[in-house]
Amino acid sequence: MGDNLEAREAVGDYKAGWHDPENSTIRFDFGLSEEVVREISNLKSEPSWMTEMRVKAFNHFIERPMPKWGNTHLLEEIDFDKICYYLRSSESTERDWEDVPDDIRNTFERLGIPEAEQKWLSGVTAQYESEAVYHSIREDLEEQGVIFLDMDSGLRDFPEIVKKWFCSVVPLTDNKFAALNTAVWSGGSFIYVPKGVHVEMPVQAYFRINAKNMGQFERTLIIADEGSSIHYVEGCTAPSYSTDSLHSAVVELVALPGSHIRYSTIQNWSSNVYNLVTKRGIAHENAKIEWVDGNIGSKLTMKYPAVILKGEGSHAEVISVAYSGDGQHQDAGAKIHHLASNTTSKILSKSISKSGGRGSYRGMVTVSPKADNCKLNVVCDALILDEDSRSDTYPTMEVSNPTARCEHEASVSKVSDDQLFYLMSRGHSEEESLAMIVNGFFEPFTRELPMEYAVELNQLMALEMEGSIG
């Protein structure tokens, strides 16, 4: 497990790179076809509208060309015939960790999930390969009518709500990978927060890929009814393999009038995982959607959390950090569309590249002609740690209403010898000093996280700085 030589060579200090023996109960052969899509739907005994939607999405996926932007070179290398599209390792989703198969439970224990659940979470869903293996929510929230389920159970138990909102924020034709997800989705979270209910402590989803050449396609839908609030936190890791895996999720958020959804992610996939994710929310009148998005791992991430400000007075924030190390490209950013008047948005993007890593900020903010008095603020900062690394910024602003107030700032900086020397003169080794600078750079992001996650992120970054000084 932990001393797997291949794993260590692949990642150095990546701490979550172990894997369990594969004890799958159902495993599909590699490759994708309409039969595979229908078989997934059949296996889950889905209503026919969902099956048809999957097939439609599959056809769109096949027809849709690969994006001609982002890292086209790495995208073209994805071999869709060498991916397993469905793998089940546990017969059911348990409500008690004791009932989860030993290997899988051990893995989540090593990742600290049950411990975090006891200490500071309102509910947890743990997904392993294609299915949720554990799921629980605090009873008091259940009594208040909060629905927190894995997506498959959501579809089974609340088909009408799912039918109403599924693909309403991210249409199946949105992009090639959203189509792929819609065709083969499995797992993910389904959340409904009733009117006026505030879920005080965060709920968490954790996604773990274990098998080689695995494709994980979770689908998440969160609906916050009027005046409610919720903080959803997700984390993810995978073993380090020399072959690639694919993670392609779709997340849809619906923030009804006056509600507040905060969605925090710490993405720490191993560096053989493609992470191609579509995340989007619609904010109705006076609603607020915040994406707090940390990208530390993966081989290639292309992800641009989006908010459509549909209702007057709604607000969007996207706060993101990206770390790109050896062999990594984080192509991340944000998209915000101001469709209504008096809407406000804020984008803060921080990226660090090191050891040949590549960080790209790609952002788009639009203001429609009918939206008066909008305010938007975009700040993107990049920190480059050595000569081999690269940072690019692709900001786009399309403002079609003259009353909008727009602010945009961008900076690229390097760690200077003088800065390191100053910290070293206070007794901190070169690596510690670098970690201080890096964690300081990320601080505007980490202070938005629950404390436990902030600490974990700082430790992760300190680990990334180890052995980085030549």
Q: At what angle do helices 48-63 and 34-43 cross, to 10 degrees?
A: 150
**Residue 448, φ and ψ in degrees, nearest 5:** -85, -10
Token output for 449: 């996280």
Residue 341 or 419: the one with the smaller Cβ distance to another protein is: 419
320 binds another protein (CB under 8 A): no
Supply the minimum distance, in Å, between the C-beta of residue 55 and another protein: 49
Q: Cα–Cα distance between 331 and 333 in angstroms, integer?
A: 7
User: Does 417 participate in binding another protein (rule CB under 8 A)?
Assistant: yes
Between residues 129 and 381, which has the closer beta carbon with respect to another protein?
Answer: 381
Phi/psi of residue 424, nearest 5 degrees: -65, -35
Name beta bridge partners: 274: 246, 300
Asked whether position 418 contacts another protein by CB under 8 A, the answer is yes
Of residues 372 and 448, the one with the C-beta less far from another protein: 448
CB of 26 to another protein, least distance (A): 47
Our finding on whether 98 is near another protein (CB under 8 A) is no
Which residues, 6+ apart, have CB-to-CB distance to 170 below 8 Å?
A: 178, 250, 251, 252, 278, 280
Name 246's bridge partners.
215, 274
Query: Does residue 323 bind another protein (CB under 8 A)?
Result: no
Under the binding rule (CB under 8 A), the answer on residue 387 touching another protein is no
Q: Which residues in 430-459 contact another protein (CB under 8 A)? A: 430, 432-433, 436-437, 439-444
C-alpha 337/C-alpha 371 separation (Å) is 10
The nearer residue to another protein, 67 or 444, going by C-beta atoms, is 444
Task: Kindly provide the b/e burial profile for residues 339-362, where b requires at least 16 CB atoms within 10 angstroms of the residue's own CB.
Answer: bbbbbbbbbbbbbbbbbebbbbbb
Which residues inside 180-219 make contact with another protein, applying CB under 8 A?
Answer: none
Cβ contacts of 303 within 8 Å, gap of 6 or more: 275, 276, 277, 278, 279, 293, 295, 331, 332
Figure out which of the listed residues 1, 26, 410, 424 binds another protein, where binding follows CB under 8 A: 424
Nearer to another protein (CB atom), residue 401 or residue 419: 419
**Residues 3-32 as x/- pattern, contact with another protein by CB under 8 A:** ------------------------------
As a whole number of angstroms, the distance between CA 49 and CA 39 comes to 15
The C-alpha atoms of residue 50 and residue 129 are separated, in whole angstroms, by 21
In angstroms, give the least distance from the CB of 433 to another protein.
8
Q: Please identify which residue in 8, 195, 375, 428 interacts with another protein, judged by CB under 8 A.
A: 428
Rounded to the nearest whole angstrom, what is the least distance from the CB of residue 454 to another protein in the complex? 12
The minimum distance between CB 441 and another protein, in angstroms, equals 6
The answer to the question of residue 386 lying near another protein (CB under 8 A) is no
Closest distance to another protein from the beta carbon of 410 (Å): 15
**CB-based contact 178:277 (threshold 8 Å):** no
The site that binds another protein (CB under 8 A) totals a number of residues, namely 24
Greatest alpha-carbon pair distance for the chain in Å reads 68
- 421 counts as binding another protein under rule CB under 8 A: yes
Does residue 426 touch another protein according to CB under 8 A?
A: yes
Residue range at the interface with another protein (CB under 8 A); choices 72-80, 167-175, 218-226, 419-427: 419-427
427 binds another protein (CB under 8 A): yes
| Displacement of CA 278 from its chain's centroid (Å) | 9
Residue number, 220 or 433, with CB nearest to another protein: 433
Q: Which is nearer to another protein, 48 or 425 (CB)?
A: 425
Give the binding range for another protein (CB under 8 A) out of 97-105, 271-279, 372-380, 420-428: 420-428
Helix (H) or strand (E) holding 459: helix 451-465
Nearest CB to another protein, comparing residues 403 and 413 = 413
Residue 423 within binding range of another protein, rule CB under 8 A: yes
Stretch that binds another protein, among 40-48, 94-102, 105-113, 429-437 (CB under 8 A): 429-437
Nearer to another protein, 25 or 413 (CB): 413
d(CA 205, CA 133): 11
Q: Of 141 and 436, which CB lies nearer to another protein in the complex structure?
A: 436
- Residue 229 CA to residue 151 CA, distance in Å, equals 20
Residues from 397 through 416 that contact another protein (CB under 8 A):
416
CA–CA gap between residue 351 and residue 412 (Å, rounded): 9
CB of 439 to another protein, least distance (A): 7
Helix (H, G, I), strand (E, B) or coil at 147: strand
Let me know: does 224 contact 197? Beta carbons within 8 Å.
Answer: no
Contact flag: residue 419 with another protein (CB under 8 A): yes
Q: Using CA atoms, how far apart are residues 455 and 447, in angstroms rounded to an integer?
A: 10
Nearer Cβ to another protein (49/421): 421
Place of tokens 């959390």: 305
Site residues (CB under 8 A) for another protein? 416-419, 421-430, 432-433, 436-437, 439-444
